[in-house]
Amino acid sequence: MNNRARANLVLNLVVAVTFVLAALSGVYFMFFPKHASVASPLIIFTPEGWDLVHTCSGVALIGSLLLHIVIHWKWIVNVAARLMPTPVIQLHAPIAEHSEQ
């Protein structure tokens, strides 16, 4: 495996792990809101720990997704160009010419 493929694999793993952490902590807060009158059970972390996991994993997820988009931008543009039909009217061309005789 070459270095570029290895770096892409690592980036994809970072995206996957941070997504799972953000999703799991989000599910925790869905069932045990921070300011609810129901006492939060200590499931692995304290509520403050879950908040830290949720915040850090969310920030890391956004950063890794932005990097992923930047790295694959050329591919995104090429696929979008192939999927989009060519425009019927080109905006930079004149629509009609007026000729005086």
What are the sequence ranges of the domains in the chain? 3-73
pTM exceeds 0.85, yes or no: no
Q: pLDDT digit string (tens) for 6-55?
A: 999 999 999 999 999 999 999 988 888 876 656 667 778 888 888 999 99
Q: What are 59-89's pLDDT values in tens digits?
A: 999 999 999 999 999 999 999 988 987 766 6
Query: What's the rounded Cα separation, in Å, for the pair 18 and 25?
Result: 11
Q: How far is CA 96 from CA 25, 30, 45, 62, 67, in A?
A: 59, 59, 69, 47, 44
CB 20 within 8 A of CB 53: no
